[in-house]
Amino acid sequence: MENNIEIKNIREKTPTLYIVIPCYNEEEVLPITSKQFLAKIRQLVTEEKITDDSRILFVNDGSKDSTWDIIRKLSAEDPHYIGICQSRNRGHQNAVLAGLMEAKDQCDITISIDCDGQDDINAMDRMVDAYLDGCEVVYGVRSKRDTDTVFKRFTAEGFYKLLNWMGAEVVYNHADYRLISSRVLQEFANYKEVNIFLRGMVPLVGFKSTSVYYERAERIAGESHYPLKKMLALAFDGITSLSVKPIRLITSFGLLVASLSFIGILWAVIGALVGETAPGWASVTCIVCFIGGIQMLFLGVIGEYIGKIYLETKHRPRYIISERTYKDTDAKQDMGTDKK
């Protein structure tokens, strides 16, 4: 990836931008950050980097508070605000996907970003510049983690290293803050899997890409929706959705244990023949417990893969849009239900 960006403006057409923002119980922070997003849109329009048809697309992920009411109010106040509402909570990754698929036929580029105000929105300027310079995907990457606790920094960095070691191709210190062109989104729409891990799926599409670096701030208001438990679940989903390396490690470890067991059997037989054996309840118990525990662990990992296959074969929709704040002429039903 190229890190140094020289703006050549090789694009002949001024692009239309859709900022895709997943929202789940964001009533505290949304009134604050929505103004920042609108100011950024207006700035980029003034600088003639994007068209005035650009929009801020909020995706309500089944919030239980007044998030959707706030989105509808914002849409009524300014046409740059639009929103879609999922029929129920489907998780962050599905919410981002719903927004990207909603926007792919209506704009030239999308930028996905969280609603909490932690990601530096000024990095969007460099993202758009990189697109104008010919890049189709631009990753927003944290330059440092000074605001994190030692534990958070250790677990987060370990998260990316583990994913890459397990075979999931991800950009180090990149979450879901990225620019994607409509050209890439059209190709990405061909990825039909139900188990979604966008950080690992987007690099698989290919095309010219680069990274822009920024410093992440503290959350403006509200509470984080990604505690350690969810981070671990996301890591496990990413690994099992994008890599078969755990299965291969299980096979390798199984061969090792089988080899050691064969050696143990030879040792036991030889000892019995020469009459040097003695009762060994403790050693037998330890071996049985060890082998039993390993088998249960491996069955759990294999079961996780089988479970994902089970979900994939059902071909259930990854998201269902129950309501929009605007008229979409390409939708199957105006203000109705879309399934994808």
Q: What is the pLDDT of residues 311-336, one digit of tens each?
A: 667 677 777 888 888 765 444 333 34
What percent of the chain has a predicted confidence (pLDDT) above 70? 62
pLDDT higher at 89 or 2: 89
Q: Is the pLDDT of residue 307 over 60?
A: yes
Report residue 226's pLDDT band, with 50, 70 and 90 as the boundaries.
low
Q: Output the pLDDT for position 331.
A: 41
pLDDT higher at 177 or 276: 177
* Of 60-64, 219-223, 282-286, minimum mean pLDDT range: 219-223
Bridge partners of 324, per DSSP, are 84
Q: Is the CB of residue 28 less than 8 Å from the CB of residue 117?
A: no
Mean pLDDT, range 75-98, rounded to an integer:
90
Q: Output the pLDDT for position 152.
A: 64
Q: Which of 42-56, 216-230, 249-263 has the highest mean pLDDT?
A: 42-56
Q: Is the pLDDT of residue 231 over 70?
A: no
Q: Is the pLDDT of residue 17 over 90?
A: yes
Report residue 37's pLDDT band, with 50, 70 and 90 as the boundaries.
very high
For 273-339, give the DSSP string: HHT-----HHHHHHHHHHHHHHHHHHHHHHHHHHHHHHHHHHT--S-EEEEESS--TTSSSTTS-EE
Q: Is the pLDDT of residue 236 over 90?
A: no
pLDDT in tens, 103-142: 988 999 999 999 888 888 999 999 999 999 989 999 998 8
In this structure, what DSSP letter does residue 178 have?
E
Q: Is the pLDDT of residue 18 over 90?
A: yes
DSSP H helices, 174-280, are: 182-188, 198-205, 228-242, 245-274
pTM exceeds 0.85, yes or no: no
pLDDT in tens, 136-193: 999 998 877 666 666 666 666 666 676 667 666 777 777 789 999 999 999 988 888 8
Q: Output the pLDDT for position 260.
A: 67
Q: Output the pLDDT for position 244.
A: 62
Annotated domain spans of the chain: 17-153+170-225+317-339, 245-314
Superfamily in which the 17-153+170-225+317-339 domain is placed by CATH: Spore Coat Polysaccharide Biosynthesis Protein SpsA; Chain A (3.90.550.10)
Report residue 289's pLDDT band, with 50, 70 and 90 as the boundaries.
low
242-263 per-residue burial string, b: 16 or more CB within 10 A, e: under 16 = bbeebeeebeeeeeeeeeeeee
Q: Is the CB of residue 68 less than 8 Å from the CB of residue 83?
A: yes
Q: What is the average pLDDT score of the chain?
A: 77
* Of 98-107, 193-202, 264-273, minimum mean pLDDT range: 264-273
